[in-house]
Amino acid sequence: MTTFSRDVDLLKWEPVLFRDLAFPSQMLCQGIDGVTSGTRFTSGSGAFMERGVKAGQVIYLYNSAIDSCYEIVAVVSATELTVSVVRGNAEQEPIAVPGGSNLQYRISTFDPQAEEAGEEMLRYFGIDIGSSEEQIRSEMILDGGVLRQASVFAILSAVYASQAGGAEDELGYWEKSRRYQKLYQASRAGARITLDTDGNLLVNEVRGGGSLRLLRF
């Protein structure tokens, strides 16, 4: 799977995305027995590992006192997660979330959209992810982090477009989708990626998003 961003990266731009636009078909798990204490979240009915929950995803918690989304920092066991208020970067220590019990919770993901965005960007930069051994593969990108923001914008554009109500879009999702599409195009065009084409972990090639590659046949 080729992705350049995580669910928590989307949360930094749209704090209520996982509350308001979680897709039922991309729901990993949910329950009503959640308990938080500091950065610890537990649920006896969780089955987090079995359901594919992983670090970088987002959990939505709600009861009479809590109604917010938080970052999943680590999957400790089938019934326990380390969670945090959204951090500036992954190097920061987890930040405690509000304490509570009998919490309803939901963990959904936009990983399918992230993969589509990743594949599209590889094609944009002329990177063939086919079977030919002579082609540059996605793992040869040495600095995939430079594509994180472009990936976020592409995903948000796609998500809001899928929920827009056409000309009568009272929630403004279509306008949001158009705005994020413009941001995506600008971010992608301004990106420069470095490639290791021979597996020696050194930069062999630099490609810019704003340049065209000519192929001779």
Residues 80 and 131 grouped into a single domain: no
User: Tens digits of per-residue pLDDT, 2-60?
Assistant: 889 999 999 999 999 999 999 999 999 999 999 999 999 999 998 999 999 999 999 99
| CATH code of the domain covering residue 104 | 2.40.30
Domain that holds residue 204: 111-208
Q: Which residue has the tokens 């996605």?
A: 138
In a domain, 216, yes or no: no
| Closest among 145, 147, 156 to 113, alpha carbons compared | 156
Structure tokens at 133: 């051994």
Distance, CA of 56 to CA of 71 (rounded, Å):
6
Report how far apart, in Å, the C-alpha atoms of 211 and of each of 78, 79, 136 are. Answer: 47, 49, 18
On whether the CB atoms of residues 127 and 119 are closer than 8 A, the answer is: no
Last-in-domain residue among 87, 108, 129: 108
Question: Are 45 and 88 found together in one domain?
Answer: yes
Q: How far is CA 71 from CA 60, 82, 109, 190, in A?
A: 9, 9, 12, 29
Per the model's pLDDT, the better-predicted residue between 135 and 55 turns out to be: 55
Same domain, 204 and 172: yes
What is the number of domains present in the chain?
2
Residues 197 and 140: beta-carbon distance below 8 Å: yes
Last residue of a domain, one of 108, 125, 156: 108
Domain contains 213: no
Query: Are 195 and 115 contained in the same domain?
Result: yes
Residues 148 and 188 in one domain: yes
Q: Do the beta carbons of residue 75 and residue 48 sit within 8 Å? A: yes
pTM of the model: 0.87
